[in-house]
Chains A and B, each alone.
Chain A
Amino acid sequence: MGAPRKLAATLLRWVVHLVPVESQDWALAMLRELDFIEGDWAALFWAMGSTAAILRHAASVGWAWLKNKSNLKNKSSKEAGMNTTGKKALGVGLGMLSALALVGCAFATLRILGTMFPWLEHSHWAYWLAVLAIPEAIFVAATVMLWRKKGPVAAGILATGLVMALHVAVHLTLHW
């Protein structure tokens, strides 16, 4: 079994464990199909497409659940202020989750590129660029673009970006 196929299987197994029960059957179906795909790279592309599809499905299931819960709360709660706070918190959480997902994707991309070009694994520049510089630039751009229309989401992204930058600053101070 080649490295891309191993990576594909690992990715889909991780997805099967991660997604909610409603999406698990589908994720497992995609994982089972891997055994029938000829070619290691084709298997990896299959796994990447499947992961995107299943995460979208899981997100829609989660969103429907949240909406349902929010509707129930709206009916029972008379305090509108509480709902506003809840929505803001949800927005901030969503922003943070998106930012973390982006960093996760950056790590995964670097790993995949590392299997294709082994010299990249040892390149500090590639690491800092992929995991820090590009995501931070995206965070800043997203914050600016979303600030007016989706303030809480922008705040969540900004907070994650700041925590990441702080983490790197502390790391550099301690090790250099």
Chain B
Amino acid sequence: MLVLDAFLVQAEEWKYGYDLSRITGLKSGTLYPILMRMAKRKLLETQWEAGEPGKPPRHMYRFTPDGLRFARASAAAHTGGGLGQVALGLNAPNSPALDLMGA
């Protein structure tokens, strides 16, 4: 949920790996596998920043429309409690939320 929450803040803006790590408090070894899984499930789009000449580009991330929908549904289910999660199928064994957590 930490990562989804971080992406939900100004969701249309691109975010950087290290900034996400600072916001969520997650170490790189935890954060990147989550980002990789989200990107693989097409919940996240990635792009290389076209920086100034001579400056190496930086990898950026933001929600895809599907990712945004999923994150909003997860947030609603989380605040709504267990009943909401069941209604959205987030408690199901093959739920995307469980998959993102590596379960």
| B54: chain A residues within 8 A (beta carbon) | none
Contacts of A33 in B (CB 8 A): 16-18, 28, 58-59
Query: Which of the four size classes fits the interface of chain B?
Result: 10 to 19
Sorting the interface of chain A by its residue count into under 10, 10 to 19, 20 to 34 or 35 or more gives 20 to 34
Q: CA separation between A32 and B59, bound complex, in Å?
A: 8
A56 at the interface (CB under 8 A from B): yes
Contact of B28 with A46 in the complex, beta carbons under 8 Å:
yes
Residues of B within 8 A of A49 (CB): 27-30, 32
- Pair B36/A26 contact, Cβ less than 8 Å: yes
B contact face: mostly helix, strand, loop, or mixed: helix
Provide a sorted-by-A list of 21 A–B residue pairs whose CB atoms are within 8 angstroms.
A25-B46, A25-B59, A26-B36, A26-B59, A29-B58, A29-B59, A30-B17, A32-B56, A32-B57, A33-B16, A33-B17, A35-B56, A36-B16, A45-B28, A46-B18, A46-B21, A49-B28, A53-B28, A53-B33, A53-B36, A54-B32
